[in-house]
Amino acid sequence: MKLLEQAPLSAKFGMAIIVVYVIAAVFAPILAPYPQRAIVGSQFEAISAAHWLGTDHLGRDMLSRLIYAARNTVGIAVAATALTFLFGCMLGFLAATIGGWGDQLLSRAADTILAIPTLIFALMLLTVFGTALPVLVLVIGFLESPKVFRIARSSAMNVVVMDFVEAARLRGEGVGWIMRRELLPNVMAPLVAEFGLRFCFVFLMISALSFLGLGIQPPLADWGAMVRETAQLISFGVPTPLIPAFAIALLTIAVNFVVDWFLYKQSGLKEERA
């Protein structure tokens, strides 16, 4: 509690926004006035007491779909980010621990994936393997894991040369034990910060893929798809497409505020008092 009181205004704002999004995602069926798939009016109805944000091109309530999209988009982004870190951290720690040709092989494989533009690679893979949600999570986890691999490997390389790791090797501890008990606790801070930043990139990628039609598929609500479905209203001066776009931007900014504060606290710097 004391730590939260000492947090700057930007971090408090970010945490408040994240809490609101989490509440919307968890309690979407209770908070949304209509089901996300229900057609409750005519096409592109204006804002009214029945539909606070109007309706979309099929007559579905925009507010309801906006709330449900918090569950769909954010939930899938968290799952994909977790899978990204599972792959990236395991392989990064493994490369740092074994060294030699194993390290070189894993590093060059990661460099090969990083050399291909991520969005183009994702579009190609989703076109080949389909756009089911498990495939979407696996594709994003595969494409983003090399970036986490580099962070995990570089952080672990500073730890594997320490005396306590050498002592663990001399005791006969295995690679898995060293990765879990020696490396992970000592590189947790940069990985937690990277998790927040990587979540933002994954979240934006899912929204971009949905906007292009290869992300979260209808009838599930998704902010990127909602922007595409209502984009034609911009020509008539109607701000409806900006609402899901604002929801995407707001969460991205909030997470970055919290991550920036976390990195500042981990740096050990002290704020100057006036």
Question: Residue 257 has which token pair?
Answer: 């505020």
Report the pLDDT averaged over residues 36-48.
85
pLDDT at 268: 54
* DSSP single-letter state for residue 50: S
Question: For position 274, what pLDDT does the model report?
Answer: 37
More confidently predicted of 95 and 46 = 95
Cβ–Cβ under 8 Å, residues 52 and 63: yes
Q: Are 74 and 128 in contact (CB under 8 A)?
A: no
Q: What are phi and psi of 174, to 5 degrees?
A: -80, 170
> If DSSP states are collapsed to H, E and C, what string results for 190-258?
HHHHHHHHHHHHHHHHHHHHHHCCCCCCCCCCCHHHHHHHHHHHHHHCCCCCHHHHHHHHHHHHHHHHH
Residues making up the chain, counted from first to last: 274
Q: Rounded to an integer, what distance in angstroms lies between the CA atom of residue 46 and that of residue 24? A: 23
Fill in the DSSP letter of residue 145: H
Q: Is the pLDDT of residue 271 over 60?
A: no
Q: What is the pLDDT of residue 100?
A: 87
Q: Are 65 and 226 in contact (CB under 8 A)?
A: yes
Q: Which two tokens mark 209?
A: 């893929």
**CATH topology classification for 14-267:** MetI-like fold (1.10.3720)
CA-to-CA distance for 25 and 118, rounded, in angstroms?
A: 27
Q: pLDDT exceeding 70 applies to what percent of the chain? A: 95
Position 273 scores a pLDDT of 41
Banded model confidence at residue 173, pLDDT cuts 50, 70, 90: confident
Mean pLDDT of 165-190: 88
pLDDT (mean) for 95-108: 91
Q: Structure tokens of 113? A: 């994936």
Q: What does the mean pLDDT of the chain come to?
A: 88
Answer whether 0.75 is exceeded by the pTM: yes
Rg of the chain's alpha carbons, rounded to an integer? Answer: 22
Q: What is the pLDDT of residue 272?
A: 45
Question: Of 11, 60, 23, nearest to 40 (Cα)?
Answer: 60
What is the residue extent of each domain of the chain? 14-267
